Structure formats: structure tokens, C-alpha cells
């Protein structure tokens, strides 16, 4: 606690609601780190080793998912969309294939104490709900052409 280290390593998990905001955040972080390096006359090496794109949710896909939820579990199983950083690897699909439309679907699994926590638990009944919602939504999507 009471020392000045000769070197250090740290990581930041940067996420945002849109890829344009994520890009701006990364640029501001780079600028901030360089400002600190210049201020203290030290070299700080930055390595962006991971990039998790934002969920660029399509209105069309969102409406389709809403219809799938309503058909699969009814009005009592539907809740309005929430604001989330929602970053995940599968969002590379919409970056590399912009014609693909994406939406986020949550099934209310009473997850706790937090996503990716080593002691994470959830209501396993939600697996059935999620499977029914996904199957219904995919069936609806297959009828669009």
C-alpha cells in the first residue's frame, strides 16, 4: 500500500450501448492514458486486446421478438425493453453482415448475484421459457420472405 511500484498492469472492460459511443470511449481512454503518461514523463503501453461490440438492436428484429414472446408466453410474460450495455461476441455478425438484424431477448431467470459471477444461479424453469420464445420467434422470422 505504501509504495510506488516500478510497473503495473491493469485491464478495463469497456462497453457501450452503441458502437459509435464505444469507439468514442476508446479514443477518450487512449487520450486520457497518453495525457497521464505525458504528465508524469513515463511510457504507458496500451493494448486493446479485446473488443466486444455493442448490441445494435434493429426495430424490425425487436418487433419480431416481441411478437414471439407474446405468442409463446402471453402478455404476462412480456416486459418492455430495458437499457443495457448488452455487448457480446455475437454482435460481430451485425458488423460484418449489416443485412443481419439483431435483437436482445431476456427471459427473467431470477439470476443472481450477477452475470459471470462464480456463484451465479438462475431459475432453471427459464430454460423452457427461453426455448419456447426462441422457437416461436425463429418460426415467425422464417415466414418473412
Bridge partner list, 121: 112
> What pLDDT, in 10s, does the model give residues 95-132?
899 999 988 898 889 999 988 899 999 999 999 999 99
pLDDT at 145: 61
Measured CA to CA, the distance from residue 34 to residue 24 in angstroms comes to 15
User: How far, in whole angstroms, is CA 12 from its chain's centroid?
Assistant: 15
pLDDT at 56: 83
Closest by alpha carbon to 18, among 53, 51, 52?
Answer: 53
> What pLDDT, in 10s, does the model give residues 25-79?
999 999 999 999 999 999 999 999 888 898 888 999 999 999 999 999 999 999 9
pLDDT at 135: 97
pLDDT at 5: 84
CB 40 within 8 A of CB 83: no
Give residue for cell 486520457. 32
Non-local CB neighbours of 34 within 8 Å, separated by 6+ positions: 44
pLDDT of residue 89 exceeding 90, the answer is no
Q: Could you give the C-alpha distances from 54 to 27, 67, 118, in angstroms and in order?
A: 16, 23, 24
Amino acid at each position: 500500500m505504501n509504495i510506488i511500484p516500478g510497473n503495473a498492469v491493469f485491464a478495463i472492460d469497456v462497453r457501450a450501448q452503441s458502437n459509435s459511443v464505444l469507439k468514442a470511449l476508446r479514443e477518450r481512454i487512449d487520450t486520457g492514458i497518453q495525457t497521464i503518461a505525458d504528465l508524469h514523463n513515463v511510457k504507458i503501453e496500451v493494448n486493446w486486446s479485446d473488443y466486444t461490440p455493442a448490441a445494435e438492436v434493429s426495430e424490425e428484429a425487436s418487433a419480431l421478438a416481441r411478437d414471439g414472446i407474446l405468442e409463446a408466453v402471453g402478455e404476462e410474460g412480456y416486459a418492455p425493453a430495458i437499457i443495457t450495455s448488452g455487448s457480446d461476441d455475437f454482435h460481430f455478425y451485425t458488423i460484418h453482415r449489416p443485412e443481419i438484424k439483431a435483437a436482445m431477448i431476456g427471459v427473467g431467470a431470477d439470476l443472481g448475484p450477477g452475470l459471470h459471477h462464480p456463484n451465479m444461479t438462475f431459475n432453471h424453469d427459464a430454460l423452457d421459457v427461453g426455448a419456447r420464445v426462441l422457437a416461436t420467434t425463429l418460426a415467425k422470422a422464417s415466414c418473412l420472405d
